[in-house]
Amino acid sequence: MNFRLKPAVVFTLLVVLGITFHNFTLPPQPGPAKPSPAPDLPTTMVLNTDRYGKVHNAQLHDDVFAQTDWKELGFPKFDEELEIALKNQLRVLENSKFKDGQKVGNLRVTNGQLKETIEILLQRVKEDPGALSQYLNAYQVWGGDKKGNTYFTGYFTPVMEVSSVPTKKYKYPIYAYPKELAEEGKLPTRAEIDGEGALKGMGLELAYASNPLDIYIMQLQGSGYVKFVDTGAQKLFRYAGENRHPYRNIQRFFRNRDDISIGNLSLSGINRYLNQFPEMIDSVLFFNPSYTFFTPSTGLVKGAGMVPLMEGISVAADDRYFPLGSVLLAAFPVIENGIVKRHEFKVLLPQDVGGAIRGAGHLDVYCGIGKEGQRKASSLHHYGQVWLLLPKDETAVALNE
């Protein structure tokens, strides 16, 4: 029998079969599961400490830097301010004189590693805090007591009134760096400069202040804004160099004197004492032979790294242990009524140096401008812990994926 389907029937069967086979095709298979974002890291650390933040019964460290497991650490929230500060730190690194392979404590560090650390934080950690443990190592510094306790102090940018010419009120000179004298030999001490007029008549006077302690405070801070009462001009006096005599803290002057009783050895407390006993000001200030010189400038306050200092992030440090351009993680003291209640994680960036900031156990934190900056700086004299962040060996490959 010759059986032939009509074209219309054939078309109908093909359509039905197509629908049937379509309904029986396998559903699309899911791709590889994306890893869930790592949970936020702790932002605070609770330590068993005394009122000043020193850890009780801490163990001695064998080396300046010792690696710490990230399970014991945390990290602050990554905000816009930190991003700006880290981008500035790349510029600090470009300006720094750090040498590749330079020894930092018991570590050997390269300029490339310091740069890589910043890039990891900006590229990876900004989006995923869990990337810290994957790409970076944290090395705790042994601090001033070799038990991990690092001393935090604060510095600020003072604002003071000056005159362009000496007057009865404004009679204490602020000096520029005596370059020619420095080339000839040793520069004079503070007592010789301010007490004996060793630089008088050399044309180095930049301005005149009404109180020598104000000049001393500006020298300690490394820079300051000045307002000229006679011309109305405002300038920034930047650090221009030192006389290379050893720094001696004037607080030691009072501690060494049994005949003087002063309850508050902060700069504010010393200022109040000297206002009460002005005849003591030379004896107190001349105790410190170190002397800082300035140069007039404009713009924002910058440290040795030549980028604007950022409050609560920029620090002055001994660059033998904390190179300019490096990144530090700190368990930073949270202070209430002068007592450390807990520690919070902060990123601190070495962007400045100072003659009084020496060793692996002291960081000076920038606290801002004027009276508020001074208040914050004066209240900070407590302890915490600090880690130097460096990339893991395989990180260079990971960044180029």
State the pLDDT at residue 257.
80
Q: Is the model's pLDDT at 124 over the cut of 50?
A: yes
Distance CA(114)–CA(120), nearest Å, equals 10
Q: What is the pLDDT of residue 3?
A: 42
Residues 144 and 166 in one domain: no
Q: 165 and 268 share a domain? A: yes
Residue 382 has pLDDT above 60, yes or no: yes
Residue that wins the pLDDT comparison between 392 and 28? 392
pLDDT at 6 over 90: no
My answer on whether 268 and 331 are in the same domain is: no
132 and 57 inside one domain: yes
382 and 257 in a single domain? The answer is no
pLDDT tens for each residue of 179-200: 999 988 889 999 999 999 999 9
* Cβ 360 vs Cβ 105: under 8 Å: yes
pLDDT of residue 13: 43
Which tokens is 226 given? 């000045």
Q: Is residue 255 part of a domain?
A: yes
Q: Is residue 36 part of a domain?
A: no
Give the CATH number for residue 185.
Answer: 2.40.240.50
The range of the structural domain enclosing residue 210 comes to 157-297
309 and 292 inside one domain? no
**What pLDDT shows up at residue 394?**
54
Q: Which of 297, 332, 348 is the last residue of a domain?
A: 297
Per the structure, how many domains does the chain have? 2
Q: Which of 277, 297, 317 is the last residue of a domain?
A: 297
Q: Return contacts of 183-192, CB within 8 angstroms, 24+ apart.
A: 186/244, 187/243, 187/244, 187/245, 187/291, 188/243, 188/291, 189/243, 189/245, 189/286, 189/289, 189/291, 190/243, 190/245, 190/285, 190/286, 190/288, 190/289, 190/290, 190/291, 191/282, 191/286, 191/289
Kindly state whether residue 117 falls inside one of the protein's structural domains: yes
**Do residues 335 and 389 share a domain?**
yes
Q: Flag whether 28 is in a domain.
A: no
What is the rounded average pLDDT of the residues 358-370?
94
- The reply to whether the predicted model has a pTM over 0.95 is no
What is the pLDDT, as a whole number, of residue 9? Answer: 45
Task: Tell me: pLDDT of 265 over 90.
Answer: no
The verdict on residue 20 lying in a domain is no
| pLDDT (tens digit per residue) in 85-95 | 999 999 999 98
Give me the CATH number covering residue 108.
2.40.40.10
pLDDT band at 50 (very low <50, low <70, confident <90, very high): very high
Residues 265 and 355 in one domain: no
Same domain, 240 and 326: no
Tell me: pLDDT of 220 over 80. yes
Say if 34 falls within a structural domain.
Answer: no
Q: Which of 19 and 322 is assigned the larger pLDDT?
A: 322
Q: Please check whether residue 126 lies inside any domain of the structure.
A: yes
Work out the percent of the chain whose per-residue pLDDT is above 70: 88
Same domain flag for 217 and 288: yes
Cα 35 from Cα 128, distance rounded (Å) = 11
Taking residue 338's Cβ as centre, other Cβ atoms within 10 Å add up to 10
Q: Is the residue at 17 inside a domain?
A: no
Which residues on neighbouring strands pair with residue 109, listed in sequence order? 102
Q: Are residues 164 and 292 in the same domain?
A: yes
CA angle 105, 110, 114 (to 5 degrees): 95
Domain boundary among 267, 297, 327: 297
**164 and 149 assigned to the same domain:** no
Average pLDDT, the chain: 86
54-106 pLDDT per residue, tens: 999 889 999 999 999 999 999 999 999 999 999 999 999 998 888 777 889 99
Asked if residue 304 has pLDDT above 50, the reply is: yes
